[in-house]
Amino acid sequence: MTANSEAYIRLGESIDQIGHRLTGSENGAKAEQYVYDLLKSYGFSDVSFQPFEVNGWIREEMNLKVLTPSGQESAVKAVALALTPAVAELEGLLVDMGNGLEEDYLAAPEVVKGKIVFAALNLLPGSPEGTRNIHRSAKVSLAIQYGAKGIILFNSVAGGTLLTGTASIDGTILPIPAVAIGLEDGMALKEQLKGEELAAQIYMRNKTGKFTARNVIARIEGSELPEETIVVGGHLDSWDLSPGAVDNGLGSFSVIDMARTFIALGLKPKRSVEFVLFMGEEQGLLGSRAYVQHAAEKGSLDRIRFMLNFDMTNDPKSFTSTLEGSRQLFESLSETVMQVDTNFQNRFAARAGLYSDHQPFMLEGIPTGGAGGGRLSREALNCYHADCDVFSLVNDLEMRNTVRFGAMLAFGLANAPHIPVVRLTDQQVKQLMLDNNLEEALRIGGDWRW
Protein backbone atom coordinates (compact mmCIF):
# COMPACT_ATOMS: atom_id res chain seq x y z
CA MET A 1 0.00 0.00 0.00
CA THR A 2 2.94 2.34 0.69
CA ALA A 3 4.34 1.74 -2.75
CA ASN A 4 1.13 2.60 -4.55
CA SER A 5 -0.04 5.70 -2.74
CA GLU A 6 -0.60 8.67 -5.01
CA ALA A 7 -1.81 11.16 -2.40
CA TYR A 8 1.37 13.22 -2.60
CA ILE A 9 1.37 13.34 -6.39
CA ARG A 10 -2.29 14.39 -6.61
CA LEU A 11 -1.86 17.06 -3.95
CA GLY A 12 1.11 18.49 -5.83
CA GLU A 13 -0.77 18.34 -9.12
CA SER A 14 -3.83 20.09 -7.70
CA ILE A 15 -1.66 22.84 -6.20
CA ASP A 16 0.02 23.37 -9.58
CA GLN A 17 -3.28 23.44 -11.44
CA ILE A 18 -5.49 25.27 -8.95
CA GLY A 19 -3.54 26.90 -6.12
CA HIS A 20 -5.48 27.76 -2.96
CA ARG A 21 -8.93 26.30 -2.26
CA LEU A 22 -10.80 29.14 -0.54
CA THR A 23 -14.46 28.32 0.07
CA GLY A 24 -16.83 30.18 -2.23
CA SER A 25 -14.08 31.38 -4.57
CA GLU A 26 -13.49 30.34 -8.16
CA ASN A 27 -10.49 28.32 -6.97
CA GLY A 28 -12.67 26.60 -4.38
CA ALA A 29 -15.15 25.52 -7.07
CA LYS A 30 -12.29 24.25 -9.24
CA ALA A 31 -10.95 22.19 -6.34
CA GLU A 32 -14.39 20.66 -5.71
CA GLN A 33 -14.62 19.67 -9.38
CA TYR A 34 -11.05 18.35 -9.44
CA VAL A 35 -11.78 16.04 -6.50
CA TYR A 36 -15.13 14.92 -7.97
CA ASP A 37 -13.44 14.00 -11.26
CA LEU A 38 -10.55 12.30 -9.50
CA LEU A 39 -12.85 10.10 -7.40
CA LYS A 40 -14.83 9.20 -10.53
CA SER A 41 -11.59 8.28 -12.28
CA TYR A 42 -10.80 5.85 -9.47
CA GLY A 43 -13.95 3.92 -10.35
CA PHE A 44 -16.45 5.18 -7.78
CA SER A 45 -19.96 4.91 -9.17
CA ASP A 46 -21.47 6.98 -6.37
CA VAL A 47 -19.83 10.42 -6.18
CA SER A 48 -21.94 13.46 -5.40
CA PHE A 49 -21.80 17.15 -4.55
CA GLN A 50 -23.53 18.40 -1.42
CA PRO A 51 -24.11 22.13 -1.89
CA PHE A 52 -24.54 24.63 0.95
CA GLU A 53 -24.64 28.40 1.28
CA VAL A 54 -21.91 30.44 2.95
CA ASN A 55 -21.22 34.04 3.90
CA GLY A 56 -18.55 34.33 1.27
CA TRP A 57 -15.50 36.51 1.69
CA ILE A 58 -12.77 37.03 -0.87
CA ARG A 59 -9.94 39.50 -0.38
CA GLU A 60 -9.35 42.12 -3.02
CA GLU A 61 -7.20 45.08 -1.98
CA MET A 62 -5.62 46.20 1.24
CA ASN A 63 -3.24 49.01 2.22
CA LEU A 64 -1.94 49.97 5.62
CA LYS A 65 0.02 53.15 6.32
CA VAL A 66 1.45 54.46 9.56
CA LEU A 67 1.59 58.25 9.99
CA THR A 68 3.76 60.25 12.39
CA PRO A 69 2.60 63.59 13.88
CA SER A 70 5.04 65.39 11.60
CA GLY A 71 3.25 63.90 8.60
CA GLN A 72 5.67 61.13 7.62
CA GLU A 73 3.99 58.15 6.00
CA SER A 74 5.22 54.58 5.84
CA ALA A 75 3.53 51.60 4.23
CA VAL A 76 3.37 48.38 6.28
CA LYS A 77 2.95 44.95 4.69
CA ALA A 78 -0.46 43.74 5.86
CA VAL A 79 -3.33 41.39 5.05
CA ALA A 80 -7.00 41.68 5.83
CA LEU A 81 -8.37 39.02 8.17
CA ALA A 82 -11.32 37.07 6.82
CA LEU A 83 -14.86 38.44 7.15
CA THR A 84 -13.69 42.04 7.39
CA PRO A 85 -15.92 44.63 5.66
CA ALA A 86 -16.35 44.86 1.90
CA VAL A 87 -15.29 48.50 2.04
CA ALA A 88 -13.23 50.33 4.66
CA GLU A 89 -11.30 53.57 4.40
CA LEU A 90 -10.36 55.19 7.65
CA GLU A 91 -7.68 56.85 9.72
CA GLY A 92 -7.28 56.78 13.48
CA LEU A 93 -4.81 57.02 16.32
CA LEU A 94 -3.14 53.77 17.31
CA VAL A 95 -3.46 52.48 20.86
CA ASP A 96 -1.15 49.71 22.09
CA MET A 97 -3.43 47.28 23.91
CA GLY A 98 -0.74 44.73 24.75
CA ASN A 99 -2.16 41.24 24.32
CA GLY A 100 -5.62 42.60 23.47
CA LEU A 101 -7.25 40.61 26.26
CA GLU A 102 -10.24 41.62 28.37
CA GLU A 103 -7.91 42.59 31.25
CA ASP A 104 -6.06 45.00 28.96
CA TYR A 105 -9.34 46.80 28.21
CA LEU A 106 -10.64 46.71 31.79
CA ALA A 107 -7.50 48.60 32.86
CA ALA A 108 -8.56 51.54 30.63
CA PRO A 109 -12.07 51.01 29.22
CA GLU A 110 -12.37 54.35 27.37
CA VAL A 111 -8.96 54.51 25.78
CA VAL A 112 -9.71 52.83 22.43
CA LYS A 113 -12.97 54.63 21.62
CA GLY A 114 -12.81 55.91 18.05
CA LYS A 115 -9.22 54.71 17.71
CA ILE A 116 -7.39 51.75 16.20
CA VAL A 117 -6.32 48.92 18.50
CA PHE A 118 -2.82 47.57 18.10
CA ALA A 119 -2.24 44.21 19.82
CA ALA A 120 -0.32 40.94 19.76
CA LEU A 121 -1.94 37.84 18.28
CA ASN A 122 0.02 35.51 20.56
CA LEU A 123 0.93 36.27 24.15
CA LEU A 124 3.77 38.79 24.47
CA PRO A 125 6.96 37.57 26.11
CA GLY A 126 6.86 38.56 29.78
CA SER A 127 3.06 38.28 30.09
CA PRO A 128 2.04 37.47 33.68
CA GLU A 129 2.18 33.79 34.59
CA GLY A 130 -1.11 32.02 33.92
CA THR A 131 -2.30 34.52 31.29
CA ARG A 132 -4.58 32.70 28.85
CA ASN A 133 -4.67 33.81 25.26
CA ILE A 134 -7.91 34.03 23.30
CA HIS A 135 -8.77 33.39 19.64
CA ARG A 136 -8.12 36.22 17.18
CA SER A 137 -11.86 36.59 16.57
CA ALA A 138 -12.41 37.12 20.30
CA LYS A 139 -9.75 39.87 20.26
CA VAL A 140 -11.53 41.58 17.40
CA SER A 141 -14.84 41.20 19.20
CA LEU A 142 -13.39 42.96 22.30
CA ALA A 143 -12.07 45.83 20.18
CA ILE A 144 -15.56 46.31 18.72
CA GLN A 145 -17.19 46.10 22.14
CA TYR A 146 -14.93 48.85 23.52
CA GLY A 147 -15.61 51.16 20.58
CA ALA A 148 -12.50 50.82 18.42
CA LYS A 149 -12.84 51.66 14.72
CA GLY A 150 -10.22 49.15 13.60
CA ILE A 151 -7.71 46.61 14.87
CA ILE A 152 -4.19 45.62 13.83
CA LEU A 153 -2.76 42.33 15.12
CA PHE A 154 0.83 41.16 14.77
CA ASN A 155 1.91 37.52 14.92
CA SER A 156 4.88 35.80 16.54
CA VAL A 157 6.42 34.01 13.55
CA ALA A 158 9.81 35.42 12.53
CA GLY A 159 10.66 36.37 8.96
CA GLY A 160 7.78 38.66 7.94
CA THR A 161 5.33 35.76 7.71
CA LEU A 162 1.73 36.89 7.30
CA LEU A 163 -1.12 34.95 8.87
CA THR A 164 -4.79 34.99 8.03
CA GLY A 165 -7.89 33.39 9.49
CA THR A 166 -11.39 34.43 10.37
CA ALA A 167 -11.79 37.49 12.57
CA SER A 168 -15.51 37.04 13.09
CA ILE A 169 -16.76 35.16 16.10
CA ASP A 170 -20.15 34.24 14.59
CA GLY A 171 -19.39 34.06 10.88
CA THR A 172 -21.03 37.38 9.98
CA ILE A 173 -19.23 40.24 8.23
CA LEU A 174 -17.49 42.51 10.77
CA PRO A 175 -18.36 46.18 11.26
CA ILE A 176 -14.68 47.24 11.49
CA PRO A 177 -11.51 46.37 9.56
CA ALA A 178 -9.15 43.86 11.20
CA VAL A 179 -5.72 43.43 9.69
CA ALA A 180 -2.66 41.32 10.38
CA ILE A 181 0.99 42.32 10.10
CA GLY A 182 4.26 40.44 10.62
CA LEU A 183 6.33 40.08 13.78
CA GLU A 184 9.18 42.43 12.87
CA ASP A 185 6.88 45.25 11.73
CA GLY A 186 4.77 44.71 14.84
CA MET A 187 7.68 44.90 17.25
CA ALA A 188 9.08 48.00 15.50
CA LEU A 189 5.68 49.70 15.71
CA LYS A 190 5.41 48.75 19.38
CA GLU A 191 8.76 50.46 20.07
CA GLN A 192 7.82 53.52 18.06
CA LEU A 193 4.53 53.87 19.94
CA LYS A 194 6.41 54.21 23.22
CA GLY A 195 7.98 57.42 21.99
CA GLU A 196 5.31 59.15 19.93
CA GLU A 197 1.67 59.26 18.95
CA LEU A 198 1.04 57.46 15.68
CA ALA A 199 -1.97 57.17 13.43
CA ALA A 200 -2.81 54.43 10.95
CA GLN A 201 -4.64 54.58 7.67
CA ILE A 202 -6.51 51.47 6.56
CA TYR A 203 -7.88 50.97 3.08
CA MET A 204 -9.57 47.70 2.16
CA ARG A 205 -11.80 46.18 -0.45
CA ASN A 206 -13.19 42.65 -0.17
CA LYS A 207 -15.86 40.74 -2.01
CA THR A 208 -18.66 39.58 0.25
CA GLY A 209 -22.01 37.94 -0.31
CA LYS A 210 -23.86 34.64 -0.26
CA PHE A 211 -21.89 32.04 -2.17
CA THR A 212 -22.41 28.34 -2.73
CA ALA A 213 -19.81 25.74 -1.81
CA ARG A 214 -20.00 21.94 -2.21
CA ASN A 215 -18.85 19.02 -0.11
CA VAL A 216 -17.75 16.10 -2.28
CA ILE A 217 -18.93 12.64 -1.19
CA ALA A 218 -17.83 9.25 -2.52
CA ARG A 219 -19.78 6.28 -1.19
CA ILE A 220 -19.13 2.54 -1.06
CA GLU A 221 -22.21 0.50 -0.27
CA GLY A 222 -21.79 -1.95 2.62
CA SER A 223 -22.19 -5.66 1.85
CA GLU A 224 -24.06 -6.70 5.02
CA LEU A 225 -25.10 -3.55 6.88
CA PRO A 226 -25.46 -1.01 4.07
CA GLU A 227 -27.65 1.28 6.16
CA GLU A 228 -24.82 1.77 8.68
CA THR A 229 -22.18 4.30 7.62
CA ILE A 230 -18.60 5.12 8.56
CA VAL A 231 -17.77 8.70 7.55
CA VAL A 232 -14.14 9.33 6.66
CA GLY A 233 -13.62 13.06 6.26
CA GLY A 234 -11.20 15.93 5.96
CA HIS A 235 -11.57 19.52 4.86
CA LEU A 236 -10.61 20.29 1.31
CA ASP A 237 -10.86 24.06 1.66
CA SER A 238 -7.91 26.25 2.60
CA TRP A 239 -7.17 29.89 3.25
CA ASP A 240 -6.09 31.96 0.29
CA LEU A 241 -2.61 33.30 1.13
CA SER A 242 -1.03 29.99 0.13
CA PRO A 243 -2.18 26.65 -1.38
CA GLY A 244 -2.84 25.22 2.11
CA ALA A 245 -0.54 22.27 1.45
CA VAL A 246 -0.51 21.17 5.08
CA ASP A 247 -3.85 22.71 6.14
CA ASN A 248 -5.47 20.70 4.85
CA GLY A 249 -4.09 19.41 1.56
CA LEU A 250 -2.33 16.83 3.68
CA GLY A 251 -5.48 15.47 5.31
CA SER A 252 -7.89 15.86 2.41
CA PHE A 253 -5.68 14.26 -0.21
CA SER A 254 -4.93 11.46 2.25
CA VAL A 255 -8.69 10.83 2.56
CA ILE A 256 -9.01 10.85 -1.24
CA ASP A 257 -6.23 8.29 -1.47
CA MET A 258 -7.81 6.12 1.23
CA ALA A 259 -10.87 6.11 -1.03
CA ARG A 260 -8.72 5.12 -4.01
CA THR A 261 -7.19 2.33 -1.92
CA PHE A 262 -10.61 0.83 -1.09
CA ILE A 263 -11.45 0.63 -4.80
CA ALA A 264 -7.98 -0.47 -5.92
CA LEU A 265 -7.94 -3.35 -3.43
CA GLY A 266 -11.55 -4.24 -4.17
CA LEU A 267 -12.48 -3.91 -0.49
CA LYS A 268 -16.10 -4.75 0.27
CA PRO A 269 -16.71 -3.79 3.90
CA LYS A 270 -19.80 -4.88 5.84
CA ARG A 271 -20.87 -1.29 6.47
CA SER A 272 -21.07 1.54 3.98
CA VAL A 273 -18.22 4.04 3.90
CA GLU A 274 -18.59 7.67 2.87
CA PHE A 275 -15.43 9.58 2.05
CA VAL A 276 -16.32 13.23 2.52
CA LEU A 277 -14.26 16.22 1.45
CA PHE A 278 -15.69 19.15 3.36
CA MET A 279 -15.57 22.79 2.28
CA GLY A 280 -16.06 25.78 4.59
CA GLU A 281 -14.11 24.38 7.54
CA GLU A 282 -11.96 27.48 7.90
CA GLN A 283 -15.02 29.76 8.01
CA GLY A 284 -16.50 27.81 10.92
CA LEU A 285 -17.00 24.10 10.06
CA LEU A 286 -19.68 25.06 7.56
CA GLY A 287 -19.46 21.97 5.34
CA SER A 288 -19.54 19.46 8.17
CA ARG A 289 -22.40 21.36 9.82
CA ALA A 290 -24.28 21.16 6.50
CA TYR A 291 -23.60 17.41 6.22
CA VAL A 292 -24.85 16.78 9.77
CA GLN A 293 -27.89 18.99 9.27
CA HIS A 294 -28.75 17.12 6.09
CA ALA A 295 -28.45 13.77 7.91
CA ALA A 296 -30.63 15.11 10.75
CA GLU A 297 -33.31 16.13 8.24
CA LYS A 298 -33.23 12.65 6.69
CA GLY A 299 -33.39 11.10 10.18
CA SER A 300 -30.18 9.17 9.48
CA LEU A 301 -27.87 10.44 12.26
CA ASP A 302 -28.27 7.18 14.20
CA ARG A 303 -26.95 5.29 11.22
CA ILE A 304 -23.60 7.10 11.20
CA ARG A 305 -21.67 4.68 13.38
CA PHE A 306 -18.37 6.55 13.39
CA MET A 307 -16.83 9.71 11.97
CA LEU A 308 -13.07 9.72 11.35
CA ASN A 309 -11.50 13.12 10.77
CA PHE A 310 -8.17 13.87 9.12
CA ASP A 311 -7.08 17.48 9.61
CA MET A 312 -3.33 18.02 9.16
CA THR A 313 -2.87 14.39 10.19
CA ASN A 314 0.73 13.47 9.39
CA ASP A 315 2.53 10.16 9.88
CA PRO A 316 0.22 8.94 12.67
CA LYS A 317 1.50 6.64 15.39
CA SER A 318 -1.74 5.63 17.10
CA PHE A 319 -5.53 5.70 16.87
CA THR A 320 -7.72 7.98 18.95
CA SER A 321 -11.40 8.28 19.71
CA THR A 322 -13.69 10.48 21.76
CA LEU A 323 -15.12 7.51 23.64
CA GLU A 324 -13.50 5.21 26.18
CA GLY A 325 -15.95 2.51 25.11
CA SER A 326 -14.16 2.15 21.80
CA ARG A 327 -10.82 1.30 23.46
CA GLN A 328 -10.91 -2.43 22.86
CA LEU A 329 -11.84 -2.19 19.21
CA PHE A 330 -9.27 0.55 18.54
CA GLU A 331 -6.55 -1.33 20.40
CA SER A 332 -7.19 -4.49 18.43
CA LEU A 333 -7.02 -2.50 15.18
CA SER A 334 -3.72 -1.00 16.39
CA GLU A 335 -2.37 -4.51 16.97
CA THR A 336 -3.12 -5.35 13.36
CA VAL A 337 -1.29 -2.23 12.16
CA MET A 338 1.69 -2.97 14.41
CA GLN A 339 2.13 -6.28 12.63
CA VAL A 340 2.78 -4.44 9.36
CA ASP A 341 4.68 -1.48 10.82
CA THR A 342 6.63 -1.69 14.04
CA ASN A 343 6.73 2.12 14.35
CA PHE A 344 3.02 2.15 15.03
CA GLN A 345 2.10 2.15 18.70
CA ASN A 346 -0.84 1.28 20.82
CA ARG A 347 -1.41 4.49 22.72
CA PHE A 348 -5.16 4.78 22.65
CA ALA A 349 -6.50 7.75 24.60
CA ALA A 350 -10.15 8.78 24.76
CA ARG A 351 -10.18 12.56 24.25
CA ALA A 352 -12.57 15.13 22.87
CA GLY A 353 -11.39 18.37 21.27
CA LEU A 354 -12.89 21.06 19.07
CA TYR A 355 -12.36 23.14 15.93
CA SER A 356 -12.41 20.66 13.13
CA ASP A 357 -15.03 18.79 11.13
CA HIS A 358 -15.60 16.05 13.71
CA GLN A 359 -17.15 18.68 16.02
CA PRO A 360 -20.68 18.87 14.51
CA PHE A 361 -20.82 15.03 14.51
CA MET A 362 -19.55 14.81 18.09
CA LEU A 363 -22.12 17.35 19.27
CA GLU A 364 -24.82 15.07 17.83
CA GLY A 365 -23.44 12.21 19.91
CA ILE A 366 -21.82 10.36 17.01
CA PRO A 367 -18.59 8.56 18.01
CA THR A 368 -15.62 10.32 16.38
CA GLY A 369 -11.95 9.53 16.09
CA GLY A 370 -8.93 9.43 13.88
CA ALA A 371 -5.23 8.81 13.86
CA GLY A 372 -2.71 10.92 15.74
CA GLY A 373 0.57 11.05 17.54
CA GLY A 374 2.56 11.96 14.45
CA ARG A 375 4.60 15.10 14.11
CA LEU A 376 4.68 18.10 11.85
CA SER A 377 7.90 20.08 11.43
CA ARG A 378 8.32 23.40 13.27
CA GLU A 379 8.41 25.02 9.83
CA ALA A 380 5.02 23.52 8.94
CA LEU A 381 3.48 24.60 12.25
CA ASN A 382 4.81 28.16 11.81
CA CYS A 383 3.09 28.33 8.44
CA TYR A 384 -0.34 27.45 9.84
CA HIS A 385 -2.83 29.82 8.11
CA ALA A 386 0.15 31.67 6.68
CA ASP A 387 1.49 32.70 3.28
CA CYS A 388 4.18 30.00 3.55
CA ASP A 389 1.95 26.86 3.78
CA VAL A 390 3.43 25.44 0.57
CA PHE A 391 3.93 21.99 -0.96
CA SER A 392 7.59 21.65 0.09
CA LEU A 393 6.39 21.32 3.70
CA VAL A 394 4.66 18.02 2.86
CA ASN A 395 6.65 14.80 3.27
CA ASP A 396 5.74 12.04 0.81
CA LEU A 397 6.61 9.08 3.04
CA GLU A 398 4.88 10.51 6.09
CA MET A 399 1.78 11.23 4.02
CA ARG A 400 1.78 7.59 2.79
CA ASN A 401 1.57 6.52 6.42
CA THR A 402 -1.45 8.75 6.96
CA VAL A 403 -3.12 7.05 3.99
CA ARG A 404 -2.36 3.44 4.88
CA PHE A 405 -3.03 3.66 8.61
CA GLY A 406 -6.13 5.77 8.03
CA ALA A 407 -7.42 3.28 5.47
CA MET A 408 -6.78 0.39 7.87
CA LEU A 409 -8.73 2.15 10.62
CA ALA A 410 -11.60 3.00 8.26
CA PHE A 411 -11.78 -0.56 6.95
CA GLY A 412 -11.44 -1.99 10.45
CA LEU A 413 -14.45 -0.01 11.66
CA ALA A 414 -16.51 -0.61 8.52
CA ASN A 415 -15.87 -4.33 8.73
CA ALA A 416 -15.96 -4.86 12.53
CA PRO A 417 -18.39 -7.62 13.58
CA HIS A 418 -19.59 -5.30 16.33
CA ILE A 419 -18.99 -1.62 17.15
CA PRO A 420 -19.18 -1.33 20.93
CA VAL A 421 -20.21 2.36 21.09
CA VAL A 422 -23.48 3.87 19.91
CA ARG A 423 -24.73 7.40 19.47
CA LEU A 424 -24.78 9.30 22.78
CA THR A 425 -27.89 10.85 24.25
CA ASP A 426 -28.08 14.61 24.62
CA GLN A 427 -27.19 14.39 28.31
CA GLN A 428 -24.26 12.08 27.60
CA VAL A 429 -22.92 14.57 25.04
CA LYS A 430 -23.18 17.34 27.63
CA GLN A 431 -21.27 15.22 30.15
CA LEU A 432 -18.58 14.37 27.58
CA MET A 433 -18.09 18.09 26.88
CA LEU A 434 -17.89 18.89 30.61
CA ASP A 435 -15.46 16.03 31.24
CA ASN A 436 -13.21 17.41 28.51
CA ASN A 437 -13.44 20.97 29.83
CA LEU A 438 -15.01 22.31 26.63
CA GLU A 439 -17.95 24.32 27.95
CA GLU A 440 -16.34 27.76 27.78
CA ALA A 441 -14.95 27.25 24.28
CA LEU A 442 -18.32 26.00 23.04
CA ARG A 443 -20.08 28.98 24.61
CA ILE A 444 -17.74 31.43 22.88
CA GLY A 445 -18.38 29.70 19.56
CA GLY A 446 -22.16 29.74 20.12
CA ASP A 447 -22.33 25.93 20.18
CA TRP A 448 -23.22 25.35 23.85
CA ARG A 449 -26.89 24.29 23.86
CA TRP A 450 -27.36 23.24 27.47
Q: Which residues bind Zn ion (CB under 5 A)?
A: 247-248, 311
Q: What is the DSSP letter of 417?
A: S
In sequence order, the 6+-apart residues with CB closer than 8 A to the CB of 114 are 92, 147, 148, 149
Which 3 state secondary structure label does DSSP give 318?
strand
User: Which residue type does 230 have?
Assistant: I
The answer to whether the beta carbons of residues 152 and 65 sit under 8 Å apart is no
Least CB distance from residue 281 to Zn ion, whole Å?
A: 6
**How many CA atoms lie within 13 Å of 277's alpha carbon, on the beta-carbon side?**
35
What is the dihedral angle through the alpha carbons of 57, 274, 416, 333, rounded to the nearest 10 degrees? -50
Cβ-based nearer residue to Zn ion, 8 or 278: 278
Cβ-based nearer residue to Zn ion, 247 or 364: 247
Preceding omega of 55 cis (within 30 degrees of 0) = no
Least CB distance from residue 386 to Zn ion, whole Å?
A: 13
Least CB distance from residue 289 to Zn ion, whole Å?
A: 15
Cβ-based nearer residue to Zn ion, 22 or 151: 22
Cβ-based nearer residue to Zn ion, 141 or 252: 252
Alpha helices for 122-264 (secondary structure H): 136-145, 183-195, 251-264
Count of CB atoms situated within 10 Å of the CB of 108? 11
Least CB distance from residue 244 to Zn ion, whole Å?
A: 8
Cβ-based nearer residue to Zn ion, 152 or 383: 383
The answer to whether the beta carbons of residues 252 and 93 sit under 8 Å apart is no
Least CB distance from residue 264 to Zn ion, whole Å?
A: 27
Cβ-based nearer residue to Zn ion, 39 or 246: 246
Distance CA 306, CA 334 (A): 17
Distance CA 58, CA 73 (A): 28
Cβ-based nearer residue to Zn ion, 247 or 389: 247
Q: What is the DSSP string of 72-92?
A: -EEEE-EEEPBT--SEEEEEE
Cβ-based nearer residue to Zn ion, 186 or 280: 280
Cβ-based nearer residue to Zn ion, 99 or 313: 313
Count of CB atoms situated within 10 Å of the CB of 425? 10
b vs e for 156-195, b when ≥16 Cβ sit within 10 Å of the residue's Cβ?
A: bbeeebbbbbbbbbebebbebbbbbbbbebbebbbeeeee
Least CB distance from residue 23 to Zn ion, whole Å?
A: 12
Least CB distance from residue 235 to Zn ion, whole Å?
A: 6
Q: Could you tell me what percentage of the chain is helix, strand and coil, using 3-state DSSP and rounding each to the nearest 5?
A: 35, 25, 40
